[in-house]
């Protein structure tokens, strides 16, 4: 295993929010003393939401790593809507207490990035895959295997950030996106891939192996 993490332990997306809430809490302390406690509690919540710790990354080339922290809500065959073919679909639901950065599940070249506007349904619902705002990354591995991973906004989430584009190379565990606040990531794999997780499992980005490729 190795660690791939080119960013600070607090996600860069969080610094404006942290600066604002800490300033507000400091002013509340100055003028309100102990009555500022609720504001500091909110500041702690913002701090934990934007935490983004380094992770140990398995190097098995057949392993597909989890792209996000959360809970498994789907494991089964489905149609990959971006490649229009049947695939193994594994979905990870993130609540507001999970780390919300997304990390590449494989080593590969980005073939395409597709953004789609949409609704903001509860991301735990399966229909969120097709109806919610979402951003798909279509990647190809060195052996030609094609994998699709999709950031999906949720009930509270209102901003999907993706930092990769077609032609770039992603390394497994590399941070490529972020979603605020509570969301979901779908992964579509070739048929024959063997799932290593089950519905209800708690998973960690980069460290948990979702499946092994055929």
Active site residues: 183
Give CA torsion, residues 90, 189, 60, 177, to 10 deg. Answer: -70
Beta carbons of 186 and 150 less than 8 angstroms apart: yes
Beta carbons of 120 and 158 less than 8 angstroms apart: yes
Residue 61 backbone zone (phi > 0: left; psi -120 to 50: alpha; other: beta): alpha
The stretches of the chain forming alpha helices (DSSP H) are 15-32, 37-49, 128-131
- List C-alpha distances in Å: 207 to 59, 165, 202: 10, 24, 12
Beta carbons of 66 and 203 less than 8 angstroms apart: yes
Distance CA 164, CA 34 (A): 45
């Amino acid at each position: 295993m190795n660690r791939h993490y080119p960013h600070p332990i607090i996600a860069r997306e969080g610094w404006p929010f942290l600066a604002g809430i800490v300033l507000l809490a400091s002013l509340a302390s100055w003028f309100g003393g102990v009555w500022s406690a609720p504001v500091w509690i909110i500041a702690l919540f913002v701090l934990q939401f934007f935490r983004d710790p380094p992770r140990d990354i398995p190097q098995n080339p057949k392993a597909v790593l989890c792209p996000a922290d959360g809970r498994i809500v789907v494991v089964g065959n489905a149609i990959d809507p971006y490649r229009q073919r049947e695939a193994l679909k594994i979905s990870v639901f993130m609540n507001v207490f999970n780390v919300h950065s997304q990390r590449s599940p494989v080593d590969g070249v980005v073939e395409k990035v597709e953004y789609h506007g949409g609704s903001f349904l509860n991301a735990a619902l399966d229909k969120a895959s097709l109806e919610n705002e979402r951003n798909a990354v279509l990647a190809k591995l060195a052996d030609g295997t094609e994998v699709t991973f999709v950031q999906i906004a949720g009930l509270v989430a209102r901003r999907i950030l993706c930092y990769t584009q077609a032609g770039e190379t992603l390394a497994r565990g590399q941070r490529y996106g972020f979603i605020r606040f509570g969301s979901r990531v779908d992964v579509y794999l070739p048929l024959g891939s063997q799932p290593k997780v089950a519905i209800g499992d708690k998973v960690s980005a980069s460290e948990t192996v979702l499946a092994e490729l055929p």
